[in-house]
Amino acid sequence: MSLRGRALVFGDDVSTDQISPGKYLKLTEAEAGLHAMEGIDPTFSSRVRQGDLLVGGRNFGTGSSREYAASSLRIAGIAAVIAPFFARIFFRNAINQGLAVLECPEAGRIREGDELDVDVVAGEVRDLTQGFTLAATRLPPHILALVEAGGIVPWLERRLAAERAPQGPPAGEARGPASGEQQGLAAERVP
């Protein structure tokens, strides 16, 4: 899963109140998506382009569990979010929404407007403008499967379809992805 796009860079502790302000909570998901990042950059929705890569500072997505924070970025066109580390609810929400999130300790080296090439599977962020490659934490296979499926809803659709199929679920798929322990993932970072 490779993503190429332009970096939009933000600082530390960007909160969900800034990514998707509370006053938009009562809107639909699609409507709220038009106001992504409005609480920190009112020009964001006019300058963001499909496939842009959002680079955040430490603790990106701190605050509430509102899923609009993740879905707004996806709807705005953001292909992946890269940050040294994330607030854990935002991290899981992004995955469940099919929005790739990469924990990249040195993300602070990326500058506004840099052209990036991100390999989500390998956990690599290449800055083509500055000419360096940064390591990012690799997502465990069962988490990657959720991202690649487009989020938990399409993933559940597949799983339920398999369970309802007359021949029964395919081997090993009966209970969804194998546990991390079975796949030897205990050392990988997932909040």
* Distance (Å, whole) CA 39 – CA 129: 29
Of 136, 172, 167, 132, nearest to 2 by C-alpha is: 136
**Residues ≥6 apart with Cβ < 8 Å to 87:** 16, 59, 60, 61, 62, 63
| From candidates 29, 51, 121, 122, binder to other proteins by CB under 8 A | 29
The site string for other proteins over 40-79 (x = CB under 8 A, - otherwise) reads x-----------------xx--xxxxxx--x---------
Q: Which stretch binds other proteins (CB under 8 A): 74-82, 106-114, 130-138, 173-181?
A: 173-181
Tokens of 52: 């842009």
The site string for other proteins over 76-105 (x = CB under 8 A, - otherwise) reads ---------x-xxx--xx--xx--------
Residues 144-163 touching other proteins, rule: CB under 8 A, are: 151-153, 156-157, 160
Tokens of 184: 């030897």
Q: To the nearest whole angstrom, how small is the minimum distance from the Cβ of residue 117 to other proteins?
A: 28
Q: DSSP letter string over 165-178?
A: STT-SPTT-BTBSP
- Residue 6, interface with other proteins (CB under 8 A)? no
Burial label for 119, CB within 10 Å (0-12, 13-18, 19+), is: middle
Contacts with other proteins, residue ranges (CB under 8 A):
13, 15, 17-18, 21-23, 25-27, 29, 39-40, 58-59, 62-67, 70, 85, 87-89, 92-93, 96-97, 140, 142, 151-153, 156-157, 160, 175-177, 179-181, 185-187, 189-191
